[in-house]
Amino acid sequence: MKATSLSLSALLASVLFTAPFGASAAAPAHEEYVAHLQSMNHDAAGSATTGEVRFTINGDEVTIDIRVHGAPPDTVHWQHFHGFATGQAASCPTAAEDINHDGIADLIETGKASGTTMVPFDSEPAAMDVAHGTYPKADAHGAYHYRQTVSLKALDAAFAKAFPGQQLDLDKRVVFIHGVPAGQALPASVASLGSIPAQVTLPIACGKIERAAARPAD
């Protein structure tokens, strides 16, 4: 009787100790990336926008979590990652990007350092419809919290279709937050994309995406 219960507990112990290792060998990838948002163009925006972006990849799921503070209040904020479709790593713009010296680094001027608009953080990132997406709106205090979980496979496929031969390569991208109120006066020299008002595309914060130490899964 005693021998049986001992061998049973030995068996249980061996199952308990080996199972987690066996499970983790077969477990899907877990990766985290983070970007700390620094304000841009704060004189034109009338506020200093800061925040944090976190990407958590668990197998086929990628969760994008964006917390923003100090943005122009009661305003919709376009947000995307920008980058180069050439393999070059993007960086956040500096004062040197204000090519026409109007005191503002507009969206077009940021292209040299940060590349082009790539993936929108709207209600449907994998649809990659930058100009027609539904983006978050800051509250009366200029804060918002955006969180979306999307299929990594779907996002990869949409990205490869839009940028042939390129991969998401998060650690080569930067996150941009855009937008000041529609009625806000901006110099005529502030350029935008096509017919989209400069108030919509004005960059107000940027953060470089970096690989972060993965937190243990719960």
Q: Shortest approach of Cu ion to residue 178 CB, angstroms?
A: 5
User: Rounded distance, CA 164 to CA 187, Å?
Assistant: 36
Q: Provide the 8-state DSSP code for 172.
A: G
CB nearer Cu ion, residue 108 or residue 212: 108
CB nearer Cu ion, residue 80 or residue 173: 80
User: Rounded distance, CA 37 to CA 209, Å?
Assistant: 10
Cβ pair 113, 40 in contact under 8 A = no
Contacts of 139 (CB under 8 A, 6+ apart): 73, 74
Query: Of the ranges 39-47, 149-157, 172-180, 181-189, which one interacts with Cu ion (CB under 5 A)?
Result: 172-180
Q: Shortest approach of Cu ion to residue 193 CB, angstroms?
A: 9
Residue 69 sits in the site that holds Cu ion (CB under 5 A):
no
CB nearer Cu ion, residue 70 or residue 93: 93
Q: Shortest approach of Cu ion to residue 201 CB, angstroms?
A: 7
Which residues ranging from 113 to 132 are in contact with Cu ion (CB under 5 A)?
A: 117
Cβ pair 33, 54 in contact under 8 A = yes
CB nearer Cu ion, residue 80 or residue 172: 80
Cβ pair 3, 11 in contact under 8 A = no
- Report the residue number whose CB is nearest to Cu ion: 80
User: What string of DSSP letters covers 35-79?
Assistant: EEEEE-SHHHHTS--EEEEEEEEETTEEEEEEEEESPPTT-B--E
Size of site (CB under 5 A) for Cu ion: 3
Residue 80 sits in the site that holds Cu ion (CB under 5 A):
yes
User: Which position among 176, 180, 202, 204 is part of the footprint of Cu ion (CB under 5 A)?
Assistant: 176
User: Rounded distance, CA 195 to CA 185, Å?
Assistant: 17
Query: Of the ranges 2-10, 89-97, 111-119, 185-193, which one interacts with Cu ion (CB under 5 A)?
Result: 111-119
CB nearer Cu ion, residue 33 or residue 78: 78
Positions in the binding site for Cu ion (CB under 5 A): 80, 117, 176
